[in-house]
Homo-oligomer: A and B are copies of this chain.
Amino acid sequence: MYVILVYDIGERRVTKMLKLCRQYLNWIQNSVFEGEITEVKLKELLSVAKKIMKEEEDSVIIFKSRDEKWLEKEIIGIEKNSLDTII
């Protein structure tokens, strides 16, 4: 499935969350990731994320689409991280 993940995490935890999400998805902007992922891998990602988060302060939202082709993407301005650049 194709997912978009956005997070709003306390400053002291955000670097850990960034490193975690980068192992599973593509960073595209600010606190936004996208990519193809299996149900099992998403569960794995979210279970580790929960250990990093303070659930009473932090927020992670995942939008899941069964197929990337059901999601049309439009970019205005610069592409902060085009998918083909590997950092």
Interface size class of A (residues with CB under 8 A): 35 or more
Give chain B nearest CB distance to A57 CB in angstroms.
7
Interface of A is mostly: strand
Q: Mark A53-86, 1 if CB is under 8 A from B, else 0.
A: 1111111111111100011111111111000000
Chain B residues in 8 Å Cβ range of A78: 55-59
A84 CB to nearest chain B CB (Å): 16
A64 to chain B, nearest CB (A): 4
Q: Is the CB of A59 within 8 A of B74?
A: no
Hey, which chain B residues are within 8 Å of A62, CB to CB?
73-76
A29 touches B6 (CB 8 A): yes
Per the bound structure, the CA–CA distance linking A61 and B6 in Å amounts to 12
A16 smallest CB distance to B (angstroms): 14
Once the chains bind, are B73 and A63 in contact (CB under 8 Å)?
yes
